[in-house]
Amino acid sequence: MMSFFKLIQFSMKDIFSQKRISTFFVTNLILGFLGFFLLQIFQNSLVLETQSKAQETLGGDLVISVRRELTIEEKEKFDLKLKEQFISKTQYYDFFAMTIFKTDKLDSKTRLVLVKAIEESYPLYGQFKKTIFQDNQETPIFVDPEIIDQFQIDTKKINQISLGDQKFNLSGVIQSDPTRTFRFGALAPTVYIRYTDLPKTNLIKTGSTITSVVSYKLKTPTNANQLKKDLEKTFTDSSIRFSSAFLQEDSGNRVFDYLLDYLNLVSLVAIGLSFLCLGYMLQWLFQLQIKNTALYKILGLSHWQAVQTQIIKNFVLSLFAFLIATLFVLILKTPLEQIMYSYFEVSAKLDFTLKSFFVNLVFIVIGPQLVAIPSYLNIYQMDPLPILKGQNHDVREKFNLQKNLVLVGLLVVFWLIAILQSQSLLIGSAFTGALSAIGLLTVLVLFLFKGFIQKIADQLGFQNKYAITSLLRQKKSTYLIFTTMTLSIAILVLLPQIKKSILNELRPQSASKIPSLFMFDIQPEQVAGLEKIVLDKTQQKLQLTPLVRSRILKMNDADYERKAESEFFKTREDENEARFRNRGVNLTYKKDLQDSETIVKGRWFSREYNLSDSNENSDIPEISLEERYAGRVGAKLGDVLTFDVQGLEIKGQVTSIRRVRWTSFQPNFFVVFQPGVLEDAPQVFLSAVNNLATDQVRTLQTDIVNSFSNISIIDVRESVEKSLVFIDKMALALQIMAGLSLVVGFFIFIILINTQVRERLSEMNLLQVLGAGLPVVYSIFVKQFALIIIFSLFFGLLFGLIMAYFLMETLFTLSLTFDFTSLGVLIILLTTVLAGIIFFATRPIRHLQPLQLLKDGA
Amino acid sequence: MIQIKDLTKSYKMVSDENQQDIRILNQLNLTVQTGETVAIVGASGSGKSTLLGLVSGLDQPDSGEVIINDQSLQKLNQQDVTGFRASNIAIVFQQYYLVQHLTALENVLLPLEILNQKVDTNFVNNLLDQVGLSHRIHHKPNQLSGGESQRLALARALVIKPSLLLADEPSGSLDVDTGQKIMSLFFDQVKKNKTTTVLVTHDPSLAKKCDRVFQLINGQLQALV
């Protein structure tokens, strides 16, 4: 028996003697895994960054937040519940407000800012990095550096900034706040004032958009999860959010989440294609080496040793690929970090940790071994004698239950990997499902139409008949090529559609439809005054949208309970659902739909609700839910939701589901009541003012802030411009990622066609010997590939668009926007490149050496 | 009739240090009469397969000429040589070389399909019957034994009623018993069809069954019988 050491030597010799195959194998692995690898490190870095800084970014071990003012009783209850558990605590408010800065030239500048009213003890973890201009001010205010630039503040002078009724003295700049990780796309810069100075501003009124936060530093920080659960059980008000620094939560940034989802998809594409290609290459490898393996077996290698040889070869090549991929990652790490920082202001370090090293090592080395199981089974079961005699040459075509079970097992493993990788049951299942569906469809099409296609082929001339018969008879390779190509094309079609849809969602509508100013926190008593100012300055009548704060109490009369969170594994869908369920909801009421809304199910309100006409039990007010919100709270048409509005229970029956275009900058809401229900509830108003010139925006903004300091105003155009810059950067990033998968896809086409050509060289030589001219032989094979490409293109396009629709509807919950330009460019590009690939890959056919058949036998 | 005149063929051998021409065939001459069977024996590497390659028009000589039925292959272009081969020359290989995805019947019909010739069903059925494969016509090559595969290759060669049959160690991959059976069938068929045959073999007993036997040595043929 050959020793294990000898087996290794034996395998190494095989690797070196088949340099071309080994290079293909390794290149495929490197390309496929590089994207996955980089993404894995990127994600790990983010997780590490988030974990190590979780206490800093969260502002404590356990944080309680609510989008309203916390009552003193509530705060006392929290303290009581956590007594003896915490060392220190801090509390702060944050909210949007307008700030006024008066310059020397006497004209004042206004700007929307995020105000953080903090206690001395803030932050509990980490430290501010700040530059102090003026110390020991009576009412100090610290600001983000961009405010200094925007207001062109001379920091050497004494400067005053107004917030509401209070003038603050500019004390310095906060260079970095440990609680802020991602700054890109922020609506407004932040200013910091003292907690005790907040009442002086007089900005907080009933219904103001404010977040109250109480943060605790615990004696045993790791108890945070348990305490969070205890608090959630005790405090049933689902609008209160309890956060632990030791539970993963998403970034909370919609744009960033889209980017991550897209990244996950791309990495799945890369890895999926890589696995498919790997499976195909292993089959090919097995076929190429079948005689050698049979010979080794005849010469005394046991079945198991023959398999071991392959395992060792796979292991060595995978390891080699891993090391090269690692090298690439190390080279790309620094430039990527710089790009991440300069483009997205994400300062996450791409830490190449021991964990990510081993996770990837295990994945890259184990993956090919799993994919190779069917080949190992082939080798193990192979009877060498008939193979050496030239019989049973094509063992691949034989049906084998065991191998098919292994394939099913592999699919399940891939499904689990896909879910783990995408952190989404939906996206992982959709991706694996699409993969299986395309494979099954191919099998089904070939099975159902085989006879029919063969009959048509029989009527055709030799070239076409031979080309089609070959495709139909060589089922396994046809399935593999067709499936791989269809999937690659589907993915390539899918990515730009998703990109366009995401960007379309993020990119605001045409400038004419965007309001100039968006105002919120308008108190009812301020409406008349505000209307007058707007009318005087713009000759426009103010359109007001009411906002009523509430939380869901019941759904169909059953208590709407706080969603328990699993500690074991949370998908993105679980997180989203939990977050949605556990927060309050703003209600509005209106008669008509806005431009930015469309009804997707049910019907819009037909009339005003009239309490006096109705029987309370049978006539429940109608409500309309935003599509995504309805999905996440689990409500459908006909369901009755009960809301708590300032202690009063109000029911609403879902009569329509709406799709809302959030980037319209119109006042949009998740829940809309029919008019006649909420008019008397405590409410504030939102409003948008359209078509203002730049000067008008400034003067109106200043006039409103001078009269009503609590009203927050967003200069929409400025925000849009800011977001466009980021969106364009993101578009470029998405483009690059789609490009990566395109490269992987093309590489796979090259491998598939190349292997097919090489595998069938002897058949082509034979055709020439039998009298088929070179142009005929060439034409047969080009026709075969052309047929596969035409069908793959057709089904790839079809599947890609279906997948895009499915993913947009379910994962991203956005409307699919078709990108016909990309589609057209992609089809032209694919056809051209594929034609080029066929041209180059079939070069060996143009240099056929039929004489080789005689030489092989000599 | 086949006439081989002054056929010369050399190959370039490239070693680490230099490159040299190895002359495989050196002004080789041979005439084979119609319906005659000729065996060519010789050591491995003596040039037997090279000779078959040149006679079949799959390779070009450095000099000399191959004339089959008064047609010089050297006076035809590549495309015409292929066409000429399709209708006049058949080759039986040691390794059978069957198209794996076609059935036995389809493999036999393949040369006719390439020639775009109408299939004479009776002839084909008769041929398959004669090689003992009429019950295996719908089987694929991987379902056939070595002997059956070679019989199938023989039927494929004979289906075009070739003027010249070239056979390269047709029993080389078979066990003795099967080899003998195949060769017996082979000779029955070529004699019956009066097919001009050039057989390359290592086996002297097989060679003796031919009308004439030549040994290929130093690039030239020496008559043994």
Residue B136 scores a pLDDT above 60: yes
Query: Given CA atoms A801, A807, A813, A819 in this order, what sign does their dihedral have?
Result: negative
Chain A CB contacts of B141 below 8 Å: 393
Rg of chain A in Å (alpha carbons): 33
Tell me, yes or no, if A856 comes closer than 8 A to chain B by beta carbon. Answer: yes
pLDDT over 90 percentage in chain B: 26
Tell me, yes or no, if B76 comes closer than 8 A to chain A by beta carbon. Answer: no
Contact A853 B111 (CB under 8 A): no
What was the pLDDT predicted at B32?
92
Write the residue in B49, B106, B149 that is nearest to A854 by C-beta: B49
The Cα A689–Cα A685 span in angstroms is 13
Tell me, yes or no, if B77 comes closer than 8 A to chain A by beta carbon. Answer: no
Largest alpha-carbon pair distance within chain A? 103
| Token digits of residue B102 | 């076609």
φ, ψ for residue B117, nearest 5 deg? -95, 150
pLDDT digits (tens, 9 = 90+) for B187-201: 888 888 888 999 998
**Contacts by B131-137 with C-beta closer than 8 Å and gap 24+?**
B131/B155, B131/B185, B131/B189, B132/B185, B133/B104, B136/B104, B137/B103, B137/B104, B137/B105
Measure the CA angle with vertex A165, ends A162 and A170; round to 5°.
25
Check: CB of residue A184 under 8 Å from CB of residue A346: yes
Tell me, yes or no, if A835 comes closer than 8 A to chain B by beta carbon. Answer: no
The beta strand positions in A48-122, using DSSP E, are 62-66, 86-102, 108-118
Low-confidence ranges of chain A (pLDDT < 50): 106, 182-185, 248-253, 392-397, 565-569, 858
Write the residue in B59, B96, B172 that is nearest to A851 by C-beta: B59
Question: ipTM exceeding 0.90?
Answer: no
Tell me, yes or no, if A446 comes closer than 8 A to chain B by beta carbon. Answer: no
Calculate the CA A12 to chain-centre distance. Answer: 42
Q: Kindly tell me the burial class for residue A210, based on how many C-beta atoms sit within 10 Å of its own C-beta (0-12, 13-18, 19 or more).
A: buried
| Token digits of residue B65 | 């000429």
Chain A CB contacts of B118 below 8 Å: none
Tell me, yes or no, if B168 comes closer than 8 A to chain A by beta carbon. Answer: yes
Tell me, yes or no, if A462 comes closer than 8 A to chain B by beta carbon. Answer: yes
What was the pLDDT predicted at B107?
92
Residue B64 scores a pLDDT above 90: yes
Contact B114 A390 (CB under 8 A): no
> What number is the average pLDDT over the span B8-15?
82
What was the pLDDT predicted at B8?
93
Return the H-helix or E-strand segment holding A492: helix A475-506
What was the pLDDT predicted at A622?
92
Return the H-helix or E-strand segment holding A743: helix A716-759
Chain B CB contacts of A467 below 8 Å: none
Tell me, yes or no, if A366 comes closer than 8 A to chain B by beta carbon. Answer: no
Chain A CB contacts of B53 below 8 Å: 851, 854
The Cα B148–Cα B132 span in angstroms is 8
Residue written as tokens 């060769």? B183
Residue B66 scores a pLDDT above 90: yes
Nearest residue in B to A473, CA atom: B101
Contact B113 A392 (CB under 8 A): no
Residues 80-99 of B with CB under 8 A from A: 82-83, 85-87, 91, 93-97, 99
| Token digits of residue B133 | 């494969």
Write the residue in A390, A770, A773 that is nearest to B79 by C-beta: A773
Interface test with chain A among B100, B107, B116, B138, by most A beta carbons within 10 Å: B100
Interface test with chain B among A287, A391, A395, A770, by most B beta carbons within 10 Å: A770
Residue B88 scores a pLDDT above 70: yes
Q: What is the distance between the terminal CA atoms of chain A, rounded to a whole angstrom?
A: 33
What was the pLDDT predicted at A25?
76
Write the residue in B48, B85, B169 that is nearest to A771 by C-beta: B85
Q: Dihedral, CA atoms, A686, A690, A695, A699, nearest 10 degrees?
A: -30
Tell me, yes or no, if A393 comes closer than 8 A to chain B by beta carbon. Answer: yes
Contact A394 B100 (CB under 8 A): yes
What was the pLDDT predicted at A17?
80
The Cα A775–Cα A768 span in angstroms is 10
Contact A773 B82 (CB under 8 A): yes
Neighbours of A416 (CB within 10 A): 12
Q: Kindly tell me the burial class for residue A88, based on how many C-beta atoms sit within 10 Å of its own C-beta (0-12, 13-18, 19 or more).
A: exposed
What was the pLDDT predicted at A182?
47
Return the H-helix or E-strand segment holding A169: strand A166-176
The Cα A94–Cα A340 span in angstroms is 28
pTM to 2 decimal places: 0.64
What was the pLDDT predicted at B146?
80
Contact A857 B94 (CB under 8 A): yes
Query: Given CA atoms A700, A703, A707, A711 in this order, what sign does their dihedral have?
Result: positive
Residue A803 β-bridge partners = none
Contact A390 B95 (CB under 8 A): yes
The Cα A323–Cα A332 span in angstroms is 14
Q: Which residue would you say has higher pLDDT here, A850 or B216?
A: B216
The Cα A77–Cα A258 span in angstroms is 38
Interface test with chain B among A290, A291, A854, A856, by most B beta carbons within 10 Å: A854
Nearest residue in A to B95, CA atom: A857
Nearest residue in A to B52, CA atom: A854
Q: What is the distance between the terminal CA atoms of chain B, rounded to a whole angstrom?
A: 20
What was the pLDDT predicted at A851?
75
Interface test with chain A among B82, B113, B152, B177, by most A beta carbons within 10 Å: B82
User: Which of the 8 DSSP states describes residue A557?
Assistant: T
